[in-house]
């Protein structure tokens, strides 16, 4: 086989990466498609029994709105219970803050923060539900679920940052068709979802989470005027401040109770206005208070934990009743309930069921759930045993259940091709059901048909007896119970059902990724064979340790097998950080063992003078290993992380409980040490050129400004939104950008040609390098990359000091110490370790650091608050970049530090002097640094893609495996970016230096 050249290696690597990106794109868009929906919108056909050949009534679109409204009311048989709706969304409010949890009342501070709302609940003027939201728990898909009743696609979490107009059938569209006038105040997501539907609106950005005050005042300032007007039918109020408080300070923020008190005052104002307007004969108004999602202890959301999915649904404006039981519903149940309350068709793709007002046990032991309709009197639970309804009230209840059943049945017919159907949708069971109820133990299609026909038969039987004494409560309760059984079964099946996936597209994506993995792995194998198993090792007389397999090499490869194996377990995915902590600690122990063995070998085999020098080097390496072990142990204990053991104590929790002053002090000390280490490295460079002075000065100013920002603006609990803080951060961004980019661009042009080295290491330049130094700029290249590497490292550290939470400043220091200790250890170890082993170890360190900074495989740990530091107005692109920088701080830190590793590591043994050319030297310095991370990433990405396919029907596919896959994809993007920076930096510096020597080069 022909030896690899620089050109061949570069082109094949690019082909492999591009192929992988294409395959990944195919798979992502195949596995996470936009969920298919039924076209058009519900119309008058909603009020007729479904038929297989039924065509939607097209005349609906031509009717004037007032006639359409009257037609709907006449066909439905259920008069609207209310005339107007006020929908108040308190973003991020967990239901347990208002209703409590597990039968217990809410915490005292939260209960006292909303006295008026609590008085409404206690007096029976309000009814509250725990509404379970489906993941991903972010705003846009949750709003779509509430107004359409449909389960969104998983990738809605990405679309949340770039909301598009909603095309599916929804409540707002139905209200608009019957002539409703709508007003929206608050989150501009509504304006993006429903452009042109609102008569008046005042939108605010939902992503600028630093604002906890003005974002709500912009809503409330219009409230008095809007409540006094009668030219609207739907008023939407979307308050964002409570969610922003959570992002900044978590559930227990000191700002939480005052914000809840502010929301309580809004509820009081609205309720007082409702009472007054109803007294003036303006019609009945329903106030519904909902939240789109909850929040974790640290205030984030996006995942599937109870804290994130526990949302509020609170009804105020009902007739007096006593209610002391907080039921649990699904968030998608809101859409059909509101549709039936206001007399419009249920949205076509709704998967929910209209939910109960309260539940009671009847004499025949059937559970009857009474929905929100216009009952003249609501009794207390103590009186429920004597509850009786007129035939009209019972018929309204059963009619509502029938309409909801028809809508779900149409959706089932569209998604289950095998559903039996003729005149009746499921008349295959008609004769069977007429004889009485059965257990309906059949396959999915037959079971659903059986449940539906049982409910239809019982309802028909009750209607035939209506008006006679024989129409007992038992007949009514049996029909209602049968309907609820069908609705629950159909809703659960539709909610669980995975979207149909294009098998060919998935297969193509997986095959393409597999091909790219083979390409990159083959390149790696060829490079290893050329260096370690070809003629070079004999000619270079390498150390014996370079031959055969050593324990550290076996372990590095075993890590990949362990990771791939662990991916098949949902519990291991949730607690992945433990795997990385164990693996990286084990590797450090192997380094300690190998260093001890080398020291022992030196003592017995070397002369006194050689032994003295080598022993000193061995002791230095031993110190570096102990530094790795110590810093690694502290780092792994900083954040408990994961899902199942977050309640366990860790260092960050201890510091937070000790008080903000302790966190602030530790933050300042850590930031000072990080800046001092970086500046010491830059100022220790011997060169006094103007370019070097500018680099030093720029980073010195940046470091001082970062310390100023931490001291003056970066408070632990509060987050400043003033102009001074934003301007200061923008200045820091500008200086860091100019200093870093300027270093990369200018240094290769101005660095002096000399035999002296800038790099302050003991790493002796190989005689082979000296013999070819006259032809190729190797020493100058190492010097340039050393300074550029430190510029990358210091720039990244300063960015993290700005963007990370204050509690994460110390982990940044610990990561820097591990990178420096690891780099110095490997630089001084010579050929005791193979380069691919060292770079793989760095990659593993980056992943361990990723979890040590508090990240997990759930979307809830993404730090949204830090993504707006230094941004004066919302920008999806800029905020997304900052969010990526915060989340992937550790992996990118490691990749950028490879530039410094390249400059300090003696790789002379990787080159054959008599055949050496510029391309061979570039491969020597960049080959393993680029290939090793790409190969590891490719193997893990492809393996997890296979796992995701195998787990596509798993119970936790959307809550555990899919979020993890998004993180795997983002890690791949991080690897591509980091390797591109490393390769581009090396190529650019080499070619500029070579050009300055005016020697022809070829790659």
The first and second tokens of residue 102, run together, are 């597990």
Q: According to the model, what pLDDT value does residue 432 have?
A: 45
The reply to whether omega before 778 is within 30° of 0 (cis) is no
Q: Which band of pLDDT confidence, cut at 50, 70 and 90, is reported for residue 410? A: confident
Q: According to the model, what pLDDT value does residue 851 have?
A: 92
DSSP 8-state secondary structure symbol assigned to residue 915: G
Query: What average pLDDT does range 928-955 have in this prediction?
Result: 89
How far is CA 825 from each of CA 237, 626, 705, 835, rounded to the nearest angstrom?
A: 60, 11, 32, 12
Q: How many CB atoms lie within 10 A of CB 445?
A: 16
Give the 3-state secondary structure of 800-825: HHHHCCHHHHHHHHHHHHHHHHHHHH
For the chain, counts of helices (H) and of strands (E): 37, 10
Q: Which one has a higher pLDDT value, 50 or 935? A: 935
Q: Does residue 242 surpass a pLDDT of 70?
A: yes
3 state SS of 264: helix
**pLDDT (tens digit, 9 = 90+) per residue, 297-337?**
888 888 778 888 999 999 987 654 444 444 788 999 999 99
Close Cβ partners of 936 (under 8 Å, ≥ 6 residues apart): 560, 840, 843
Say which range, 119-133, 588-602, 906-920, has the weakest mean pLDDT. Answer: 906-920
Q: Which one has a higher pLDDT value, 27 or 206? A: 27
Site of tokens 């290769």 = 748
Q: According to the model, what pLDDT value does residue 325 have?
A: 43
CA-nearest of 271, 264, 404 to 345 is 404
How far is CA 99 from each of CA 114, 139, 726, rounded to the nearest angstrom?
A: 11, 21, 39
Q: Are 737 and 763 in contact (CB under 8 A)?
A: no
CA-nearest of 868, 864, 661, 879 to 250 is 864
353 vs 335: CA distance, rounded Å = 8
How far is CA 286 from each of CA 82, 104, 270, 307, rounded to the nearest angstrom?
A: 6, 27, 10, 27
Helix (H) or strand (E) holding 523: helix 503-532
The first and second tokens of residue 554, run together, are 């076996």
Site of tokens 């609501």 = 378
Q: According to the model, what pLDDT value does residue 363 have?
A: 33
Radius of gyration of the chain (CA): 34
Phi, psi for residue 55 in degrees, rounded to 5? -110, 135
**pLDDT (tens digit, 9 = 90+) per residue, 270-302?**
999 988 877 665 678 999 999 999 998 888 888
For CATH 3.40.720.10, the residue range(s) in the chain are 34-353
Q: Are 994 and 773 in contact (CB under 8 A)?
A: no
CA-nearest of 672, 708, 692 to 743 is 692
Q: According to the model, what pLDDT value does residue 139 have?
A: 86
Q: Does residue 612 surpass a pLDDT of 70?
A: no
Q: Which band of pLDDT confidence, cut at 50, 70 and 90, is reported for residue 809? A: very high
Q: How many CB atoms lie within 10 A of CB 996?
A: 15
Q: How many CB atoms lie within 10 A of CB 837?
A: 21
Phi, psi for residue 383 in degrees, rounded to 5? -95, 0
Q: Which one has a higher pLDDT value, 115 or 604? A: 115
Q: According to the model, what pLDDT value does residue 391 have?
A: 64
Q: According to the model, what pLDDT value does residue 640 have?
A: 77
- Rounded to whole angstroms, the maximal C-alpha distance in the chain is 114
Pairing of strands 310-316, 84-90: unpaired
Q: According to the model, what pLDDT value does residue 811 have?
A: 94
Average pLDDT, the chain: 80
The first and second tokens of residue 289, run together, are 């208070």
Residue 381: beta bridge partners? Answer: none
Q: According to the model, what pLDDT value does residue 267 have?
A: 95
Q: According to the model, what pLDDT value does residue 715 have?
A: 65
Q: Which CATH number applies to 34-353?
A: 3.40.720.10
3-state helix, strand, coil in the chain (%, to 5): 60, 5, 30
The first and second tokens of residue 831, run together, are 């050929």
Residue 998, Ramachandran bin (φ over 0: left; ψ between -120 and 50: alpha; else beta)? left
Q: According to the model, what pLDDT value does residue 35 have?
A: 63
How far is CA 332 from each of CA 133, 346, 412, rounded to the nearest angstrom?
A: 8, 12, 16
Q: Does residue 860 surpass a pLDDT of 50?
A: yes
DSSP 8-state secondary structure symbol assigned to residue 343: T
Say which range, 50-59, 105-114, 660-669, 730-739, has the weakest mean pLDDT. Answer: 50-59
3 state SS of 371: strand
Q: Which band of pLDDT confidence, cut at 50, 70 and 90, is reported for residue 204? A: confident
Query: What average pLDDT does range 796-824 have in this prediction?
Result: 93
Q: Are 585 and 636 in contact (CB under 8 A)?
A: yes
Close Cβ partners of 620 (under 8 Å, ≥ 6 residues apart): 824, 828
CA dihedral 937, 942, 945, 949 (to 10 degrees): -160
Say which range, 392-401, 706-715, 890-899, 973-982, has the weakest mean pLDDT. Answer: 392-401
Query: What average pLDDT does range 666-688 have in this prediction?
Result: 88
CA dihedral 854, 857, 859, 865 (to 10 degrees): 20
- Angle, CA of 739, 740 and 741, to the nearest 5°: 100
Q: Does residue 23 surpass a pLDDT of 50?
A: yes
The first and second tokens of residue 425, run together, are 């949708």
773 vs 767: CA distance, rounded Å = 10
The first and second tokens of residue 98, run together, are 């208002």
Site of tokens 């460079």 = 685
- Angle, CA of 479, 483 and 487, to the nearest 5°: 175
Phi, psi for residue 692 in degrees, rounded to 5? -65, -40
CA-nearest of 364, 407, 372 to 148 is 407
Q: Which band of pLDDT confidence, cut at 50, 70 and 90, is reported for residue 774? A: very low
**pLDDT (tens digit, 9 = 90+) per residue, 245-270?**
998 888 888 899 999 999 999 999 99
Q: Does residue 765 surpass a pLDDT of 60?
A: no
Q: How many CB atoms lie within 10 A of CB 65?
A: 13
Query: What average pLDDT does range 468-491 have in this prediction?
Result: 80
Q: Which band of pLDDT confidence, cut at 50, 70 and 90, is reported for residue 921? A: confident
**pLDDT (tens digit, 9 = 90+) per residue, 616-634?**
777 788 888 999 999 999 9
Q: Which band of pLDDT confidence, cut at 50, 70 and 90, is reported for residue 534? A: low
Residue 239: beta bridge partners? Answer: 90
Close Cβ partners of 380 (under 8 Å, ≥ 6 residues apart): 124, 321, 322
**pLDDT (tens digit, 9 = 90+) per residue, 352-393?**
988 754 333 333 333 334 443 333 333 333 443 444 556 666
Q: How many CB atoms lie within 10 A of CB 570?
A: 18
Q: Which one has a higher pLDDT value, 132 or 434? A: 132
């Amino acid at each position: 086989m022909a030896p690899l050249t620089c050109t061949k290696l570069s082109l094949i690597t690019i082909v492999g990466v591009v192929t992988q990106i294409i395959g990944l794109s195919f798979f992502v868009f195949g596995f996470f498609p936009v969920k298919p929906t039924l076209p058009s919108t519900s119309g008058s056909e909603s009020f007729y029994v479904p038929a297989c050949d039924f065509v939607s009534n097209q005349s609906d679109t031509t009717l004037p709105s007032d006639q359409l409204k009257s037609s709907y009311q006449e066909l439905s048989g259920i008069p609207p219970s209310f005339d107007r709706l006020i929908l108040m969304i308190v973003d991020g409010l967990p239901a347990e803050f208002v209703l409590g949890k597990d039968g217990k009342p809410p915490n005292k501070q939260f209960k006292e923060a909303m006295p008026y709302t609590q008085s409404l609940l206690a007096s029976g003027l309000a009814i509250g539900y725990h509404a379970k939201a489906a993941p991903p728990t972010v705003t846009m898909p949750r709003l779509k679920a509430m107004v359409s009743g449909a389960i969104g696609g998983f990738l809605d979490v990405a679309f949340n940052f770039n909301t598009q107009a909603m095309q599916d059938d929804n409540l707002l569209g139905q209200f608009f068709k019957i002539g409703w006038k709508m007003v929206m105040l608050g989150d501009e997501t509504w304006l993006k979802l429903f452009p042109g539907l609102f008569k008046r609106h005042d939108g605010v950005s939902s992503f600028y989470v630093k604002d906890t005050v003005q974002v709500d005042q912009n809503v409330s300032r219009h409230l008095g005027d809007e409540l006094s007007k009668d030219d609207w039918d739907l008023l939407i109020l979307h308050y964002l401040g409570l969610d922003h408080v959570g992002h900044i300070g978590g559930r227990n923020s000191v700002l939480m109770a005052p914000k809840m008190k502010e929301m309580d005052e809004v509820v009081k104002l609205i309720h007082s206005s409702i009472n007054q307007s109803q007294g003036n004969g303006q019609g009945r108004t329903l106030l519904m208070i909902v939240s789109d999602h909850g929040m974790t202890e640290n205030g984030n959301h996006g995942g599937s934990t109870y804290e994130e999915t526990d949302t509020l649904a609170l009804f105020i404006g009902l007739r007096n009743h006593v209610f002391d039981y907080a039921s649990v519903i699904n968030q998608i149940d809101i859409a059909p309930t509101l549709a039936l309350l206001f007399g419009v068709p249920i949205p076509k793709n709704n998967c929910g069921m209209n939910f109960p007002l309260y539940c009671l046990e009847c004499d025949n032991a059937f559970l009857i759930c009474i929905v929100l309709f216009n009952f003249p009197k609501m009794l207390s639970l103590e009186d429920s045993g004597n509850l009786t309804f007129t035939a009209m009230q019972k018929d309204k209840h059963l009619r509502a259940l029938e309409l909801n059943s028809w809508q779900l049945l149409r959706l089932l017919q569209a998604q289950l091709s095998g559903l039996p159907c003729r005149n009746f949708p499921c008349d295959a069971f008609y004769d069977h059901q007429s004889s009485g109820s059965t257990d309906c133990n059949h396959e999915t299609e037959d079971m659903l048909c059986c449940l539906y026909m049982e409910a239809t038969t019982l309802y028909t039987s009750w209607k035939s007896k209506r008006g006679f004494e024989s129409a007992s409560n038992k007949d009514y309760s049996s029909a209602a119970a049968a309907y609820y059984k069908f609705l629950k079964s159909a809703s659960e099946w539709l909610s669980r059902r995975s979207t149909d996936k294009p098998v060919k597209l998935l297969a193509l994506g997986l095959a393409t990724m597999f091909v790219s993995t083979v390409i990159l792995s083959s390149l790696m194998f060829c490079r290893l064979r050329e260096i370690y198993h070809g003629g070079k090792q004999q000619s270079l007389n390498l150390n014996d340790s370079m031959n055969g397999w050593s324990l550290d090499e076996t372990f590095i490869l075993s890590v990949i097998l362990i990771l791939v194996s662990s991916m098949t377990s949902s519990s291991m995915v949730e607690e992945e950080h433990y795997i990385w902590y164990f693996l990286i600690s084990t590797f450090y122990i192997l380094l300690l063992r190998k260093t001890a063995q080398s020291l022992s070998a030196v003592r017995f085999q070397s002369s006194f003078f050689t032994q003295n020098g080598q022993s000193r080097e061995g002791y230095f390496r031993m110190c570096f290993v102990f530094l790795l072990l110590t810093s690694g142990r502290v780092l792994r204990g900083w954040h408990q992380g994961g899902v199942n053991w977050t309640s366990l104590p860790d260092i960050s929790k201890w510091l937070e409980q000790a008080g903000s002053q302790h966190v602030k002090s530790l933050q300042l000390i850590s930031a000072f040490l990080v800046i001092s280490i970086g500046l010491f490295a830059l100022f220790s460079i011997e060169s006094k050129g103007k370019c070097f002075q500018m680099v030093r000065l720029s980073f010195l100013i940046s470091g001082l400004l970062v310390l100023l920002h931490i001291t003056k603006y970066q408070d632990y609990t509060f987050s400043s939104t003033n102009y001074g803080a934003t301007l200061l951060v923008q200045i820091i961004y500008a200086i860091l950008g100019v200093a870093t980019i300027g270093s990369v661009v200018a240094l290769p042009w101005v660095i002096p040609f000399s035999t002296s080295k800038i790099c302050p290491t003991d790493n002796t330049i190989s005689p082979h390098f000296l013999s070819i130094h006259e032809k190729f700029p190797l020493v100058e290249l190492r010097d340039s990359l050393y300074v550029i590497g430190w510029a990358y490292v210091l720039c990244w550290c300063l960015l993290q000091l700005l963007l990370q939470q204050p509690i994460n400043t110390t982990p940044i220091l610990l990561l820097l110490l591990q990178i420096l200790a690891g780099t110095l250890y490997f630089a001084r170890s010579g050929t005791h370790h193979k380069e691919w082993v060292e770079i793989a170890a760095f990659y593993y360190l980056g992943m361990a650091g990723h979890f040590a900074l508090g990240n997990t495989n759930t979307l809830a740990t993404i730090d949204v608050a830090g993504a707006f530091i230094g941004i004066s107005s919302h920008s999806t692109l800029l905020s997304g970049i900052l969010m990526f920088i915060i989340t992937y701080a550790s992996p990118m830190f490691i990749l950028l530090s490879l530039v410094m590793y390249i400059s300090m590591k003696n790789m002379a043994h990787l080159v054959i002097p008599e055949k050496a050319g510029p391309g061979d030297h570039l491969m020597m310095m960049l080959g393993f640094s680029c290939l090793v991370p790409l190969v590891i990433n490719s193997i893990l990405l492809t393996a997890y893609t296979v796992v995701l396919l195998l787990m596509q029907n798993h119970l936790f596919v959307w809550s555990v495996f899919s979020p993890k896959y998004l993180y795997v994809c983002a890690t791949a993007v991080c690897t591509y970016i980091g390797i591109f920076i490393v390769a581009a930096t090396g190529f650019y510096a080499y070619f500029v230096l070579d050009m300055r020597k005016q020697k022809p080069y070829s790659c």
